[in-house]
Structure 1
Amino acid sequence: MAQIETFEAHVRQYENWYEEHPGMYQSEVLAIKEQLQELPENIRVIEVGLGTGRFAEALGIKEGVEPSPEMAKKAKKRGIEIIEGTAERLPYSALQFDFVLFVTICFLQNIKLALNEAHRVLKPNGAIIIGFLDKDQNIAKEYMARRHKSNFYGKATFYSVSYIERLLKEAGFKDLKFNQTLFNGEKEIKEIQLPKPSFGEGSFVTVKAIKR
């Protein structure tokens, strides 16, 4: 609950980050779009924990789940249908979606439960895509070094690629495919950086996995 209250109180600061870091934001969007290219058209897509809807809007996602009412207000203004809820208890019945997106797993209360919920609401052979900051790369390390000064990252948890890989497999996902972007420190990234396959160089990693 403390995390939700933090986002409620600092919506403007959250929005400002995207305006102040367009190169990072657009690089992350491109990495996610690359994973989306192989998905079929006319699919039902949801973003979980979509904040103010920055990624959903850029990716053409029309619905999502967000626990913060103040964040949800901004997302609704971007044309996104919002249901109040959490990743750990998605307000949907089983087998509803072709695709589930997460871009804020560092703020989840229980990542294992969230992945199990994603698996539950996905149709057979549906896909999950997770975009996250790799714990072992530059930007996550920078954020952790100054977490005591941050309204958002004070209680964030960053994960390694190997840990996310293991959790996805345990949750019932297969055929993992990775890409990466953000190859410098936060202050050095001024332009859009194109994604590369795999992981181990870029701070922002995306993984696509298929429901078994």
Structure 2
Amino acid sequence: MESSLYETYLAQLGIGGAHPGGFGFTKQFLEQERLHPHTELLDAGCGTGQTASYIASQYGCKVTVIDHNETMLEKATQRFSRDGLSIHSVQGDVQQLPFEQHSFDFVITESVLIFTSVPQSIKELYRVLKPNGALILLEMTAESPSIGKKLDEFKSFYNIEHIPTEQEWLKLLIDAGFTKSEVRGGESVASALAKATAPSQSIEPMDLNPSKTLHPQLEHIQQKHQLLTMTHAQEIGYRLYRAEKKV
């Protein structure tokens, strides 16, 4: 899986909760799940480990994480060590998971699959889930099927092949074998930004763990990311998808 400039930016600054909705949204949707110490959970594309650390400490789950980015995984394992958590960390590709089928009760992935071959990744997540297991996807979503070439520069910068609409995401889940898939929340980037900048909204502090040596174009990459986000805020959003594997 080829890294994008954006992934370099996230990894070198060690940004946690960079996914749409932020870490606050993650905590909200986890409250709706029945997680407990016997739950075997996979965080696929764990980044710097913010979500995995929270799940292990808050719910006591048996957590495994995987990420293909060496820098991300190093910072995740540093976090787990600092927090005194026993979390199994694996470097690998979500498109070819190095786990046996039926390994996990619950799989979570936050803003990861959009940067991969989505159909292949969803099939892999289905394979490693146990019967009656659940999958949570928090993923970038096109607000309209008619946006077309307007997003060519956006997709090129983030190294994305295609941005599915809500209905396309749901169909991909069903096509992979999930018997039930639904949307549990989400909105456009424009709507999320408006809420985040509202006077009554408290600002969530950034979770950072910067590398000692940074990419020489890091500031440029950050500026480009912010520009593209603002330019396409009406056309791009995020959704929380939940799917179940009934066998």
TMscore range, shorter length: 0.7 to 0.9
Which residue is equivalent to 1:33?
A: 30
Q: Of 132, 140, 148, which aligns to 1:133?
A: 140
1:156 to 1:70, Cα distance in 2 relative to 1, 3 A: farther
Q: Does 1:85 align with 2:81?
A: no
Taking structure 2 as the reference length, what is the TM-score of the superposition?
A: 0.65
1:155 to 1:170, Cα distance in 2 relative to 1, 3 A: closer
Question: Which residue identity is paired with 1:59?
Answer: I
Question: Which residue identity is paired with 1:127?
Answer: A
Deviations 1:65-119 (A, max 9, x none): 11111110011122143111111110111111101112122111x1111111111
Which residue is equivalent to 2:76?
A: 75
1:88 to 1:59, Cα distance in 2 relative to 1, 3 A: same
1:158 to 1:14, Cα distance in 2 relative to 1, 3 A: farther
Taking structure 1 as the reference length, what is the TM-score of the superposition?
A: 0.74
**In structure 1, distance between residues paired with 2:141 and 2:54:** 22
**In structure 2, distance between residues paired with 1:78 and 1:204:** 27
Asked if the contact 1:180/1:203 (under 8 Å) is kept, the reply is no
**In structure 1, distance between residues paired with 2:89 and 2:5:** 18
Instruction: Give the SS at the match of 2:3.
Output: helix
**In structure 2, distance between residues paired with 1:29 and 1:17:** 8
Asked if the contact 2:137/2:240 (under 8 Å) is kept, the reply is yes
Which residue is equivalent to 2:227?
A: none
Asked if the contact 1:181/1:205 (under 8 Å) is kept, the reply is yes
1:11 to 1:39, Cα distance in 2 relative to 1, 3 A: closer
**In structure 2, distance between residues paired with 1:16 and 1:127:** 24
Which residue is equivalent to 2:207?
A: none
Which residue is equivalent to 2:114?
A: 106
Asked if the contact 1:7/1:71 (under 8 Å) is kept, the reply is no
Instruction: Give the SS at the match of 1:203.
Output: strand
Question: Which residue identity is paired with 2:177?
Answer: G
Q: Does 1:94 align with 2:90?
A: no
Which residue is equivalent to 2:185?
A: 180
Instruction: Give the SS at the match of 1:57.
Output: helix
Asked if the contact 1:48/1:64 (under 8 Å) is kept, the reply is yes
Say what the alpha-carbon RMSD is for the aligned residues.
Answer: 3.4
Instruction: Give the SS at the match of 2:75.
Output: helix
Which residue is equivalent to 1:158?
A: 163
Asked if the contact 2:180/2:244 (under 8 Å) is kept, the reply is yes
Shift of 1:158: 2.4
**In structure 2, distance between residues paired with 1:59 and 1:70:** 21
Q: Does 1:203 align with 2:199?
A: no
Instruction: Give the SS at the match of 2:98.
Output: coil
Q: Does 1:15 align with 2:6?
A: no
Which residue is equivalent to 2:210?
A: none
**How many equivalent pairs are there?**
193
1:184 to 1:96, Cα distance in 2 relative to 1, 3 A: closer
Percent identical across equivalent pairs?
21
Instruction: Give the SS at the match of 1:128.
Output: strand
Which residue is equivalent to 1:195?
A: none
Give the unaligned 5+ runs of structure 1.
Answer: 193-201
